[in-house]
Amino acid sequence: MLIVMRTTVGIVCVLCVASWGAVDAAQVRLPGQMQQGGAGRGRPPSPASVPAEPQPPAVLVLHTGLGDIEVELLTEEAPVTVKKFIAAVKAGLLDGKRFYQVFPKRMIAGGDDRPRNQVEKRVAVDFEPGGEFDTQPAGRKGGSQWSPVLALDKTEDGKSVLTKFFICLQPRSELNDDYAVIGRIKSGADVAEKISIQKSKGEAAAIPFEPVEEIVIDYAEVK
C-alpha cells in the first residue's frame, strides 16, 4: 500500500507499507540463528543455502583391553555426521560392543555386529563423505601424509550407521565416496594393528573373520 504525504515545504514523501503474512517459524528458524524483527529485514536464508555449523575439535577414545585408540574426528569435513556420532557415543551406544572382524594389518571392524539390514533406523543417517581413504585432508599435518582412518559402515540403502565402524590400516582409495570417513587415528594405531592380527575363525564363520578371542570396547568417550 502506498501513502502520499505533502509537507509544508512542498516535499512529497512516499511511504511503502508492506503487509506481512504469518510465517511458520519452524520453516525459517535455524539452530543458533536469532530471529530479528523490525522494518527492512530480509528474507531468511533457505536451509539448503546455509552451511552446517562447524563443530569444535573432538577426539574419540576407544578403551580396550589391548590399549586405547584415539581418533581425531573430522569436524570440518563431516560436521553433520560427526555431531550425530558424538551424540551416539555419549549415549553409550558403543560401550560394551566388540571388534567383530579382523583382517591382519589391513582393517578391523567394531561396534554393532548385527547384519546391515537389522540396524535400528535411529542410528542410520544420510550419507556424508567426510574425509578420504588415501590422502590427508589439506592443511592437516603436511597435506599429503596419510594416517589410518575410521569410517562408518552403511545400510543396504546407502545410509551411514553411527554404531558400526571400521578402521583402515592401509590406504583404500577405491572406497572413497562410498563410505563416510569421520576420523583419523591420532594415537593407538599400534593397538589397532594388534587387534587386527588376532587369530580369526576364518571366512566360513557365522561372522566372517570374527576373532577367536573376544575384543571388547570397554567404553568409548569423546574429549
pLDDT, tens digit, 9 for 90 and up, residues 17-52: 333 343 343 333 333 444 444 444 554 554 444 555
Cell 571388547 belongs to 216
Amino acid occupying residue 102:
V
CB contact at 8 A, 107 and 166: yes
Tell me the sheet residues that pair with 60. Answer: 71, 222
Indicate the pLDDT class of residue 168, thresholds 50, 70 and 90. Answer: very high
pLDDT in tens, 189-223: 999 999 999 999 999 999 999 999 999 999 999 99
Rounded mean pLDDT of the chain?
A: 80
Average pLDDT, stretch 108-125?
94
Strands of 95-214 (E only): list them.
Answer: 98-103, 107-111, 124-125, 149-154, 160-168, 180-187
User: 2 versus 81: which is more confidently predicted?
Assistant: 81
Contact 167, 149 (CB under 8 A): yes
More confident residue, 122 or 9: 122
Share of the chain above pLDDT 90, in %: 63
pLDDT value, residue 36: 44
Domains defined along the chain, listed by start: 59-222 (2.40.100.10)
User: Regarding beta strands 98-103 and 215-222, do their DSSP bridges make them parallel or antiparallel, or are they unpaired?
Assistant: antiparallel
Nearest Cα to Cα of residue 81 among 52, 42, 59: 52
What is the rounded distance in angstroms from the CA atom of residue 86 to the CA atom of residue 91? 9
Q: How confident is the model at residue 147, as a pLDDT?
A: 82
Give CA 18 to chain center in angstroms. 43
First to last CA, the chain: 57
Residue pair 83/184 in contact by the 8 Å Cβ criterion:
no
pLDDT of residue 146: 73
pLDDT digits (tens, 9 = 90+) for 21-30: 433 433 333 3
What is the pTM (predicted TM-score) of this model? 0.72
Predicted confidence (pLDDT) per residue in 125-147, tens digit = 999 989 989 865 544 444 456 78
